[in-house]
A and B are shown apart, each in its own frame.
Chain A
């Protein structure tokens, strides 16, 4: 019942949270394999899931994609770029968590009738 009251924003944030969690796994995998020869860095694509949510359908899970625009193989020079991506993803994830937490708190105020 509550999930129907949450609104479109919260549904999209849920999909974005799935994608951010998966993206962290991908970045962690990229960082662990900075020196692995022949390793192709991974990313996450979830635009299709977001579009499905906006149309009101159940979204598919975000999926891992190979970032073929980056050269495979050992790439120790990309350690800094991966750390930038890590920081960006971490902040985005925490922003999404705070956003959906506040949205649920609003519903909590209504559900509790103002009492604690």
Chain B
């Protein structure tokens, strides 16, 4: 087990959470945008992250009905933190507002604003920031432990 691996794990977590914060900021910024680049309309985006490397338990959990409290998980060398799997758009329906004078109003006079719920985005933002801070705490704990180990003896 490489002692520097802990830094890589926490760094990957920080990168993922920072990307999530950026994406949430894009959502909030586009809450009132009526046009999108591909013409399909603006929809809230979500970052899907997954474990990089590491043991895979999806199959294990599905196959056994009654599991013990803990199951051996394989070697530590496979722990690599998290990674961004994809950026997906939620299929929330747009919010229709009656504004007949708006340049993007349809024939009935409704403007399709994106279904971005600012409250949901704020909650996502706060959880992403807290997860980021937790990753930072893990990183500085690893640094403290390594520095204290260097001073051992004497």
Contacts of A104 in B (CB 8 A): 152-153
- Out of A67, A82, A98, name the residue touching B70 (CB < 8 Å): A67
Does chain B have a CB within 8 A of A45? yes
What is the bound-complex CA distance between A82 and B3, given in angstroms?
A: 20
**A32 with B154: CB separation less than 8 A:** no
> 1/0 per residue B135-154: CB within 8 Å of A?
10111011011001100111
The answer to whether A65 touches B67, judged by C-beta atoms less than 8 angstroms apart, is: no
A72-B57, A86-B138, A101-B152 known; A64+B76 contact, CB < 8 A: yes
CA distance A72 to B67 in the complex (A): 14
Instruction: Select from chain A the residue with minimum beta-carbon distance to B152.
Output: A101
Q: Give the complex CA separation of A105 and B69 in angstroms.
A: 41
Q: Is the CB of A25 within 8 A of B6?
A: yes
B17-63 at interface with A (beta carbon < 8 Å): 17, 20, 47-51, 54-55, 57-58, 60-61
Task: Give the chain B neighbours of A82 by CB distance below 8 A.
Answer: 134
Q: Chain A residues near B142 (CB, 8 Å)?
A: 24, 28
B142 to chain A, nearest CB (A): 6
Number of interface residues of B (CB under 8 A): 54
* A93 CB–B CB distance under 8 Å: yes
- Residues of chain A within 8 A (CB-CB) of B127 are 35, 76, 79
Interface on A for B, CB 8 Å cutoff? 21-22, 24-29, 31-40, 42-43, 45, 63-69, 72, 76, 79, 82-83, 86-87, 89-90, 93-94, 97-98, 100-101, 104-105, 108
Q: 14 new A-B pairs (CB below 8 Å) besides A28-B6, A32-B135, A108-B154?
A: A26-B79, A28-B13, A35-B20, A35-B82, A35-B128, A39-B50, A45-B70, A65-B73, A66-B60, A66-B73, A69-B69, A86-B137, A90-B145, A105-B153
